[in-house]
Structure 1
Amino acid sequence: MTQPKLIPVAPAKACKLLNLGGTVLVSAEFEGRTDMMPASWNMPLDYDKGAVVIDSMHYTRPLMDNAKYFALGVAGEGILSELLYLGSVSKHDEPEKLEKSGMKFFKVPGYEMPLAEGCSAWVILEKLPEPEMAAKYDLFLGRVVAAWANADAWKDDGWNFEEAPVALRPTYYTQGGHFYIMGEAKNVVPTGE
């Protein structure tokens, strides 16, 4: 496994990594079993907290139910084919789903879940004890314990997609293999008195 150039981001600032609202790759590990899947329903919950929805039919779900940690990777445009495969194939049906996806993975010390190359950011969250939220809404909440931005997309404590490779721009899934890619940047000055 290789590893992209990582810039550590303080957990208290991790909301900057997740506030783009794009598709993330969720990964979890429990008792040596791992999985990764895309999720469009995700968001920052506070400066150092995040949330993601994982339906009970997914292989990833029991891992999430039992794991202490889970990870979110902000998926870039350069890995759409692999991302779509990970979302279209269940590890219930294909035990070698991760190996067959074509995705390249790496791990960070202290955590066993795989992280995907080709992301613009990665956040590891300690799952908050809210089992009723998972049971009723399929919603998992976590407190950020570690976070990194891809050095090619992060500069001076903020996003720099204007100079980053297009392959790292966040993606937005709609349906049937149709995605939107983050577009141009625009600076605005507020009006008013």
Structure 2
Amino acid sequence: MRKNLGPNPYIYPQPVLIVATYGEDGTEDAMNVAYGGIINSDRLQINIGVRHKTSDNIKAKKEFTVGIADVKNLVAADYVGIVSGHDEPDKMKKSGFHTVKSEFVDAPVIEELPLTLECRVEEMNQYDKTLRIVAKIVNVSADERILTADGKIDTDRLNAISYDAANHAYLRIGERVGTAFADGKQLR
């Protein structure tokens, strides 16, 4: 038997995305964005409230980075999601995150986050109090410690976390259980 839960954002796993920007004055900011994902092989979409400092920065600069949050940085990742850059001018310092300027876009890369997508805005639409942003991924940078010998991402080393909207929890992405584009062939 199934139970109806109503219209809720229950997609699993839901990535924990840390969006980093520069303000018009060059100050860095970051926020935890719960709703976003890949919409094409080289594009992503994020949805963020219009009241955020990050929203203002994206509107002004049209560029940002998206770091994939991991277990090691869970506390800092949660902190940048619950504290507004409008209210806390030392938000980045208090988070413990350190940044360097992206080589590809006018936005900071958070050094502690092992995987970062560097993005340029292509579309921006406001729905009620939310911005829907579609951006082209112009580069992905990865800390060498999460790469295999042949340069691929090792998800065990990445140790990414996921957001569980139903229980307001963070979950660690788990073990490999199959091979994409191969396991289904057994049903042919």
TM-score normalised over the length of structure 2 = 0.79
Superposed displacement of residue 52, structure 1: 0.7
1:46 aligns with 2:40: yes
Residues in 2 aligned to 1:153 and 1:145: alpha-carbon distance in whole angstroms: 20
Select the residue among 170, 175, 181 that pairs with 2:160: 170
1:95 paired residue among 89, 95, 101: 89
Identity across matched positions, percent: 22
Count of paired positions: 168
Aligned residue identity for 2:117: V
Q: Distance in 2 between matches of 1:181 and 1:72?
A: 18
Select which of 111, 118, 126 maps to 1:134. 126
Alignment of 1:56-95 (within 5 A): 56-95=50-89
Higher RCO structure (Cα 8 Å, ≥6 apart):
1
Q: Which runs of 5+ in 1 are unaligned?
A: 1-19
Q: Distance in 2 between matches of 1:182 and 1:117?
A: 21
- Distance, in Å, in 1 between the alignment partners of 2:163 and 2:86 is 23
State the Cα distance separating 1:112 from its structure 2 match: 4.2
Deviations 1:25-51 (A, max 9, x none): 101124223310011211112111111
Asked which structure has the greater CA Rg, the reply is 2
Partner of 2:49: 55
2:175 aligned residue: 184
- Pairwise CA RMSD: 2.2
CA positional deviation for 1:126: 1.0
- Residue 139 of structure 2 is matched in structure 1 by 146
The structural deviation recorded for 1:159 is 2.6
1:101: how far off? 1.2
- Structure 2 Cα separation of the partners of residues 74 and 157 of structure 1: 18
TM-fit CA distance, 1:21: 4.5
Matches within 5 A, 1:100-111: 100-109=94-103, 111=105
SS of corresponding position for 2:187: coil
Structure 1 letter corresponding to 2:68: V
The answer to whether the aligner puts 1:22 opposite 2:12 as a matched pair is: no
User: Is the 8 Å Cα contact of residues 17 and 66 (structure 2) preserved in structure 1?
Assistant: yes
SS of 1:158's equivalent?
A: coil
Question: What is the deviation of 1:111?
Answer: 4.0
Alignment check: 8 A CA contact 1:26 1:72 kept: yes
Q: Is the 8 A contact 2:121 2:133 kept in 1?
A: yes
Unaligned stretches of 5+ residues in structure 2:
1-12
Q: 1:114 to 1:120 in 2, by over 3 A?
A: same
